[in-house]
Structure 1
Amino acid sequence: MTTSLYALWPFAWWLLAALCGAATFYAISAALTMPRFGSAALVREAARRARALVLPPVSVLKPLCGAEPRLYENLATFCEQHHPRYQLIFGVSSSSDPAVEVVRRLQAAYPGHDIELVIDARVHGSNLKVSNLINMAEHARHDVLVVADSDIAVEPDYLEIVTAPLADPKVGVVTCLYSARSIHGFWPRVGALFINEWFAPSVRVAHSTGSRAFGFGATLALSRGTLERIGGFMALKDCLADDYLLARFARDHGLATVLAPVLVATDVIEPNFRTLWLRETRWLRTIRSVNPAGFASLFITFTSPWLLIGALAYAVLYQGSGGVPLCAGARAALAAFGTSTAGGIIARLALHARSSAVAGAFWRDLPLVPLRDALLLLQWLAAVFGSHVIWRGVRVPVANADGADAAERVERAERVERTARPAPGEARVVSATRRRAAVEVTDGR
């Protein structure tokens, strides 16, 4: 029976075996590359090299919106940097934003630090975060800029490490990976696995193959000269994936993107399934908009469903024989499914173990691994067919990145800004409709 079943569709069996094998190979690669970034030895060496340089002063731009959990604690880590001279600029669009009080507390707690709060309601495009950055950039006094999301916490040598590579004139943007911390509850734990056991390993695997097509809102360090070459933040004012495109525009000018070895920590706070689903499908659809080919290949990175498929295929071939000897092709396919399934289970467990930084997290979260991988597959399918993202209750269309190069984008942005700029003495008016349609999106968090 099995031999005849195999003889009917040999190509289908081997295609399935190849896909299961590819998923296992990815899981092995992801597990092996886990120590590549964030290891104590790499960070210490990067900090030592940074301190050997004469580091220029830095302006750190932190766009804020609302009082997130642990906001004060996260922002305070930027006030504990070893860097000899840096300016902290926090920006909000309204004086009633709860983040204002948090910044005031920081200013009181660190009176010797150069901390500036920018409250500016001007909107320059559909991306509110970029509008915030445009307003904040006017207050930056230094020629090295670091843009960092509000929900990250950093170590004291972070600023030295991420700005040191900019001493090389061939480097355009320095970015870095992040690890997730779940804040209260079941679904934040599931969300943390999204980052720690899928997103971060996939970046490491891509980086190990030579890819440098990165740009994460957790950290974007660049010089003022690089920012001006790509047209400033104004070139990103209508971009959904502004962090990714900032680095890509710099690469379009022949400048390299460097992935720093330091890891920062980010908080996952989504309290229920719905909010987690919306955030993660938004992330995947954003990936689809800027990298369709890369998005199409993501299905192979969801390991657990492929392990289940491989195990079922093995069972069908093995149990369906009914004592009848298998043909050579069926025996080879059986061995392929068995090998890929066993190897994939070991690799997935190793990846989970290496991602479990907190003591006891391995056993606590182990039952969530199949759920996490299955949920990723469903979200990927939803992202394939979806044409919108939901951000803070607003339904926003996702447009594929067009083929225009950076120069064309900059020219278009400057032309729109010139025509929209009010005459001297004339107030700029932003309609309520324009504000509701705006979107503030980084790398999915």
Structure 2
Amino acid sequence: MTAIAVVCLVVAAAGCLYLLAAIVAASPPVGEAAPAPAAWPSATILKPLRGDEPALSKNLASFCDQDYPAPVQIVFGVQAADDPAIAVVTRLAAQFPGRDLRLVVDAATHGANRKISNLVNMAPAIAHEVVVLADSDIAAPKDYLRRVAAALLRPGVGGVTLAYHGVPVAGFWSQLSALAIDAHFLPNVLLGLRLGLAAPCFGSTIALRRHDLDAIGGFAAFADVLADDYAIGAALRARGLGVAAPRLLVGHACAERSLAELWRHEMRWARTIQTVDFWGYLGSAVTHPLPFALLAAAAGAPVPGLALAGLAIAGRVGLLRAIMRSYSLPTPAYWLLPLRDLLSFATFAWSFCGREVIWRGERRRVLRNGVLTAD
């Protein structure tokens, strides 16, 4: 047995143990929900938009249809007068005539991060003290705003964020994209939170108070940062405020229609995570037991390597089943999990071989400090 085979076997075995730990972390803790406050604060939801992406109308409608007992304003923002998303917002205004909806159209650019530029332009329209950011590809349950606001009002909390599950909306490649979220990203988050090792802040939801947003420099402070969501959370924590992560999932629409589109999207995610926590990201190699087991089999340990490969597949299936049960999510395509595991490992490995990211068709280079530059 070669030294390479031994190393790969050790990593694969550790990865199988990781899958077992993640299965335990997928079960919900008891008594986690925040109590309802005596008075609900009014809130502004910010929705930066660009283009009429798949499921956009349905996703935005879920925020317009919130069951919330206080005033809610929703501000949509685009940076071009001919953006197709404008027509979607117009239809929503007709569908929800009682809602306070506002559209901001402003082409001003404030840095390399186009989403943050959009938010800078939208900020003057904010009418309420509680501000909630949520990406355009996110769908929310009806009690979303209640649960986010209740968590934000807890003592010592300055921000609230939510993890998300994948919702395939464009066929085969979007199914693989959703599995990357449900079988890889989400377990890592749940285990990290359970062990107290994670400090997440996701673009799926960031809720904070307006005066805290101003205190961290407003959105303009993150105009050249790739991982803007993480940076906002870090800025709140630097002021001594906690960022809560209630056990509520929102849906992330996965709309990749080709392998190339999927690869570009996941490479941007991977390189974003690298800028946030390089050594932690490097250590996440242990979360890929199947590829390491197959490498061990190919490097001179066929029997133990293939045995661990079988355990890795069974563990990943068990983990995904546990998550689906805990959150009452639809049954995924389990048969795609081995392919998903190999593709995730390929993305992980290749992410160390460059600094380029492609974001909504624009090519950028990300420096090691997380700053975006023109490629």
Q: What TM-score, normalized by structure 1, do the two folds share? A: 0.77
Q: Give the drift of 1:311.
A: 5.7
Amino acid at match of 2:255: I
Q: Distance in 1 between matches of 2:236 and 2:223?
A: 16
Amino acid at match of 1:80: D
1:303 aligns with 2:289: yes
| Aligned residue among 77, 82, 90 for 2:76 | 90
Q: Distance in 2 between matches of 1:341 and 1:72?
A: 42
Distance 1:341 1:127, change over 3 A: closer
Q: Is the 8 A contact 1:310 1:340 kept in 2?
A: no
Q: Distance in 2 between matches of 1:87 and 1:197?
A: 35
C-alpha offsets along residues 110-132 of structure 1, whole Å, 9 cap, x if unaligned? 11111111111111111111111
1:220 aligns with 2:206: yes
Gaps of 5+ in 1: 319-333, 403-408, 410-436, 440-445
Q: Is the 8 A contact 1:128 1:438 kept in 2?
A: no
1:111 aligns with 2:111: no
Q: Is the 8 A contact 1:66 1:98 kept in 2?
A: yes
Could you say which residue in structure 1 is the equivalent of 2:353? 385
Q: How many residues align?
A: 370
Q: Distance in 1 between matches of 2:294 and 2:340?
A: 14
1:394 aligns with 2:362: yes
Structure with the higher fraction of residues in helix conformation: 1
Q: Distance in 2 between matches of 1:359 and 1:135?
A: 38
Distance 1:348 1:310, change over 3 A: farther
C-alpha offsets along residues 380-425 of structure 1, whole Å, 9 cap, x if unaligned? 11111111112233321111127xxxxxx9xxxxxxxxxxxxxxxx
Could you say which residue in structure 2 is the equivalent of 1:323? none
SS of residue in 1 equivalent to 2:181: helix
Could you say which residue in structure 2 is the equivalent of 1:178? 164
Q: What TM-score, normalized by structure 2, do the two folds share? A: 0.91
Could you say which residue in structure 1 is the equivalent of 2:27? 35
Q: Is the 8 A contact 2:48 2:78 kept in 1?
A: yes
Q: Distance in 2 between matches of 1:293 and 1:353?
A: 30
Q: Distance in 1 between matches of 2:339 and 2:268?
A: 19
1:156-195 correspondence runs (5 A): 156-195=142-181
Q: Is the 8 A contact 1:212 1:258 kept in 2?
A: no
Could you say which residue in structure 2 is the equivalent of 1:21? 13
1:8-407 correspondence runs (5 A): 15-36=7-28, 46=33, 49-50=35-36, 52-84=37-69, 85-309=71-295, 316=302, 343-356=311-324, 361=332, 365-401=333-369
Gaps of 5+ in 2: none
Q: Distance in 1 between matches of 2:349 and 2:122?
A: 38
Distance 1:273 1:342, change over 3 A: closer
Q: Give the drift of 1:279.
A: 0.5
Q: Is the 8 A contact 2:166 2:253 kept in 1?
A: yes
SS of residue in 2 equivalent to 1:46: coil
CA RMSD in angstroms comes to 2.5
Q: Distance in 2 between matches of 1:178 and 1:282?
A: 18
Q: Distance in 1 between matches of 2:300 and 2:15?
A: 16
Report % sequence identity.
38
Distance 1:194 1:227, change over 3 A: same
SS of residue in 1 equivalent to 2:252: strand
Q: Is the 8 A contact 2:134 2:204 kept in 1?
A: yes
Q: Distance in 1 between matches of 2:126 and 2:330?
A: 41
Distance 1:300 1:114, change over 3 A: same
Q: Is the 8 A contact 2:9 2:293 kept in 1?
A: no
Q: Is the 8 A contact 1:125 1:438 kept in 2?
A: no
Q: Distance in 1 between matches of 2:301 and 2:155?
A: 58
Q: Distance in 1 between matches of 2:330 and 2:237?
A: 40
Amino acid at match of 1:73: K
Distance 1:359 1:265, change over 3 A: closer
Q: Distance in 2 between matches of 1:295 and 1:73?
A: 34
Q: Distance in 2 between matches of 1:58 and 1:36?
A: 28
Q: Distance in 1 between matches of 2:8 and 2:253?
A: 38
Q: Distance in 1 between matches of 2:292 and 2:347?
A: 16
Q: Distance in 1 between matches of 2:334 and 2:151?
A: 38
